[in-house]
Amino acid sequence: MTAAPLLSVSGLCKRFGPTLALAGVDLQVRAGEVHALVGENGAGKSTLLKVLAGVHTADDGEVLLDGLPFAPADPAAARDAGLAIIHQELALAPHLTVAENLFLGREPRRGPFVDRRRLRELATAALAQVGRGQLDPDTAVGALPPADRQLVEIARALSGDVRLLILDEPTSSLARADVEPLLQRLRELAARGVAVVYVSHVFEELFAVADRFTVLRDGATVTSGAIADTDHDRLVAAMVGRSVTDLYPRSRATPGAVVLELEDVAGVRLPRRATLQLRAGEVLGIAGLIGAGRTELLRAVFGLDPVVAGRVRVAAFEGAAPPAARWRQGVGMLSEDRKAEGLMLARSSAENVWLPVLAQKARGGFVAPRRLEQDAMPWLQRLAVRCAGGSQAVGELSGGNQQKVALARLLATGCEVLLLDEPTRGVDVGAKAEIYAAIDELAHRHGTAVLVVSSYLPELLGIADRIAVVCRGEVLPARPVGECDEHALLAAMTTGALTGEGA
Amino acid sequence: MNPARLLRAMGPSLGLFVTWLLFAVLAGGKFTSWSNTELMLLQTAVVGTAAVGATWIIVSGGIDLSVGSNIALCTMAGAGVLQAGGGLWLALVATIATGTLVGWLIGALVVGALPRVLVTLGCGGGVFLVAHGLGAWAWPLGVLAGAVAWLSSRRLSWKLPLSPFIVTLGLWGTLRGLAKGLGDNQPIYFERNDTLAGLMVTGGVLPAGVWILLAVAAIAAVLLRRSVFGRRVVAIGSSRQTARLCGVDVPRTEMGVYLLGCTCAGIAAVLQLSYLSMGDSTTAQGYELKTIAAAVIGGASLAGGEGSIGGTLLGALIMTVVDNGCTKLGLDNWVQEVVTGGIIVGAVALDRLRLARR
């Protein structure tokens, strides 16, 4: 222990209605260090960040900044105290220029007007701080590539008097080549005495950049220490709270006939060339970087985006088809964007479950809401959805339960081919385990064909029977999961070439 | 139903009761009498019927700013048929069908079928001009040709979706202009028709116009709550993307919403025609905002996915009660307008407050 920590959080609690989002968080961050904050989705990381940022107020516990009690009333107060947060979703105005975004709300003025020349100078200086001094400050932010946008956001955060910089999964929208420069900047910042809190799911980044770490699980601190004293497996075990093998149940797979066949399928932009076969009773995992065309592949198969070339076959049905036809053919899709596309948040679970087959559930064109609710209950119960009944609005449920409602839709409508896009995004560990168990049961006991897209490789390795990598719009040949490991998959995702004996 | 939802559903009824009670206390017997109640119901008939259609459109996530102009155009069409001696039934068909046609136009533009609309209008208009010598027959022939062009242009896949706000903002002017052009800037007068005029006269248990409103509302409510089509409309308003993912044919359903909503405007125009006993191109000004206000006071959300026909009727009644009550108190027109505006904002603010409390 050298110096007193810059930020000291102890016993922090935060309650939302009946759920305890934070149940005793301890976190010590020193000036000049990069501190990795890890935990599964739903472990309380975002809530903790929101309390620090002044979005939420804590119910109990203590936060000290530089030894003084710190309880910002709103985000502006937190900023004034020298705390900057960069969120996963970028908060930039796309129509304004880089310079305008950087100094939004504190523009240099000359009388009532913006001093544009000074604005440009300040912007260039701020961009130089993050190593992008050559960027034209008059470009509209909307025209920048994602990596540059992320750097603009960081430059904005740093252009104030920042003592504590918090980054919430800053690399999730970045290409791999842009990650290393960003990490380099963070190390430089830390060397200048800024305390950096780094939230990420990518362990390689954490091990590359962090000095110390803190693990959250179920809203509480589980462990913390120097990153040099731990390793990948111990971190995962601390996050998950059990050994990883328990999380992924796996029954014996007995693949049947090919039910989904793609041959050189191309979409408008992505995918560029997709060839794959999915058999009944197997789980085929799709790995790939963000932007590689994973989601676009599923959307094209499901008819949400047009197929411009190639051949699609679902069971006996040849050719592209709109979503309505796909549902009738027994194909169901789970969207990666649960809140905007996956579910109608303001409507009940029952309505969400039955929407694709409303006409079949109707008698003479009319439906009975009560009956829909009753009919939905067995499916909701089967996935252990915790809700007040089929009539409760889905938006009132937790993320994990929402996702289970979306999955219940696929079960209840009797789908035989499931297209699952990030089925466990934003879902807590408990719900994850239940979703994995459901996928295993469907595929390996009931003979359902499951195509799973996931960014989280351990998950794919845990649940899939075969894994295919998508790189720049092309699907590489699938391999049995036994021949895959994280490093080989990662290499294939970035280079587009399969390595190892199976290639 | 849990208490919070019950309260939400009861909100508009409570609002109506409180407003009514307020004027009952202030104005007394001349406000509470049966004849005045009957009058108020009659005063609600036109706006109420149009607001039922507006509710469908709003629940689907759309909006119709052209409903006032549409009603005026419909009365001109109906009056034109009566003036030409076409008879009552043909006049009713022409009035309502004009509304439905406008619904087709809005729907087609909203779902992006602009090229097909142009082809349809071109063919329909061309046939109409060629057949002009045939007199009254030119109209149905034009419509028929348009319908054929519409159906046979299905292959035109080029799509250009437009926002309903913009489409109906444009039609707000266009339809009013067409209405004026139809009568050469003059109202269209016709020989008095007792059956038509009788729709909007007090007497019997309730005036016929009120029965028409109730019938339209009842059918619309059952369809919205229970029919597959109605539930899909709610789904689209709640989340278009989810609806699309779940295989709902969004353009087709939206088309249906505007056809249905604007047909309600056509029915409202029949009542307006009966009330005015002439076709008036300047009538129903500001009804677009009144119908939206009725729906919003009744609990509809302009973001879509929420709203009920019953609530909208209560919302329309609240506005009538304010209008009528202020008149009975001898208050100036401007007072009514100020109070009505306050009620709209107040009703929505109360609703938000209830939601925030949860």
Beta strands in A147-298 (DSSP E): 164-168, 195-199, 212-217, 220-226, 258-266, 274-279, 283-288
Q: Do B226 and A369 touch (CB under 8 A)?
A: yes
DSSP string, B274-337: HHHSEE-TTTTTTHHHHHHHHHHHTT--TTSS---HHHHHHHHHHHHHHHHHHHHTT--HHHHH
Express each pLDDT in B78-129 by its tens digit: 999 999 998 999 999 999 999 999 999 999 999 999 999 999 999 999 999 9
Span B162-185, average pLDDT: 96
- Is residue B18 in a domain? no
At B225, list the tokens.
Answer: 């709550």
A120-134, A342-356, A404-418, B93-107: the lowest-pLDDT one: A120-134
* pLDDT exceeds cutoff 60 at A2: no
Q: Which of A355, A373, A387, A407 to mutate to test the interface with B (most CBs of B within 10 A)?
A: A355
Q: Is B246 on the interface with A (CB under 8 A)?
A: yes
Residue B217 lies in a domain: yes
* Whole-number pLDDT of residue A15: 85
Please choose, from the candidates B285, B283, B263, the residue with its C-alpha nearest in 3D space to the C-alpha of residue B273: B283
Residues B221-241 pLDDT 10s = 999 999 999 999 999 999 999
> pLDDT: is A129 or B191 the higher one?
B191
**pLDDT higher for A132 or B296?**
B296
State the number of CA atoms in the 13 A half-sphere of A101 facing the CB.
Answer: 28
Question: What are the residue ranges of helices labelled H in A20-165?
Answer: 45-53, 75-80, 98-102, 116-129, 146-158
pLDDT category, B358, cuts 50, 70, 90?
A: very low
User: Does B100 fall in a domain?
Assistant: yes
| A337 interfacial to chain B (CB closer than 8 Å) | yes
Domain assignment present for B32: no
Q: Does A306 reach chain B within 8 Å, measured CB to CB?
A: no
Q: State the pTM of this model.
A: 0.82
Mean pLDDT value of segment A160-175: 81
Query: Helices (DSSP H) in A248-368: which residue ranges?
Result: 294-302, 323-328, 349-354, 358-361
What crossing angle do the helices spanning B309-328 and B34-59 adopt, rounded to 10°? 140
- pLDDT per position as a tens digit, A284-325: 999 988 778 899 999 999 999 999 999 999 998 999 999 999
pLDDT average, residue stretch A430-459: 90
Provide the residue range defining the domain that includes B91.
Answer: 41-112+161-287+301-308
Banded pLDDT at A185 (limits 50, 70, 90): confident
Looking at the DSSP bridge assignments, the partners of residue A261 are A277, A313
Q: Nearest CA to CA, how far is A343 from chain B (Å)?
A: 6
Beta bridge partners of A23: A13
Q: What is the residue type of A229? A: D
**A134's tokens:** 């050559």
Tokens of A394: 């889905």
Classify residue B121: in a domain, yes or no.
no
Three-state SS string over A10-49 comes to EEEEEEECCEEEEEEEEEEECCCCEEEEECCCCCCHHHHH
Nearest-CA distance B3 → chain A (Å) = 13
Rounded distance between C-alpha atoms, residue A226 and residue A243, angstroms? 22
- Residue-wise pLDDT for B235-294, tens only, equals 999 999 999 999 999 999 999 999 999 999 999 999 999 999 999 999 999 999 999 999
Cβ of B248 and A367 within 8 Å?
no
pLDDT score recorded for residue A156: 86
Residue B218 CA to residue B222 CA, distance in Å, equals 6
Alpha carbon distances (Å) from B31 to A150, B25, B44, B201: 65, 9, 16, 19
Tell me whether B303 touches chain A (CB under 8 Å).
no
CA distances to A259, A278, A283, A448 from A256, rounded to whole Å, are: 9, 9, 12, 10
Q: What is the mean pLDDT of residues A488-492?
A: 85
User: How much is the average pLDDT of B285-309?
Assistant: 93
CB A221 within 8 A of CB A28: no
Residue B150 covered by a domain: no
Q: How many domains does chain B have?
A: 1
The ipTM is 0.86
Instruction: Give per-residue pLDDT as tens, A11-35.
Output: 999 987 667 789 899 999 999 999 9
Rounded to an integer, what distance in angstroms lies between the CA atom of residue A381 and that of residue A372?
14
Token pair belonging to B74: 């419909």
Answer whether A345 touches B (CB < 8 Å): yes
Q: Say if B32 is an interface residue toward chain A (CB within 8 Å).
A: no
Residues B96 and B78: their CA atoms lie apart, in Å, by 8
Residue B346 CA from chain centroid, whole number: 23
pLDDT given at position B8: 66
Looking at residue A325, its pLDDT comes to 95
Among the ranges given (A451-460, B170-179, B316-325), the one the predictor scored with the smallest mean pLDDT: A451-460
How far apart CA A66 and CA A163 sit, in angstroms, is 10
A340 at interface of B, judged by CB pairs closer than 8 A: yes
Q: Is the pLDDT of residue A501 over 70?
A: no
| Residue B239 CB coordination number (10 Å) | 25
The minimal CB distance from B227 to the residues A304, A347, A366 is found for: A366
| CA atoms within a 13 Å half-sphere pointing along the CA-CB vector of A452 | 32
Q: Is residue B212 in a domain?
A: yes
**Integer Cα distance of B272 and B71 in angstroms:** 8
Q: State the pLDDT at residue A247.
A: 76
Cβ-based contacts under 8 A for chains A and B: 82
In a mutational test of the B interface, the residue from A344, A352, A370 whose CB has the highest number of chain B CBs within 10 Å is: A344
* 8 Å CB contact of A323 and B234: no
Rg (CA), chain B: 21
Q: State residue B74's pLDDT score.
A: 97
* Contact: B242, A367; criterion CB under 8 Å: no
- Within a domain: B84: yes
Average pLDDT over every residue of A126-147: 84
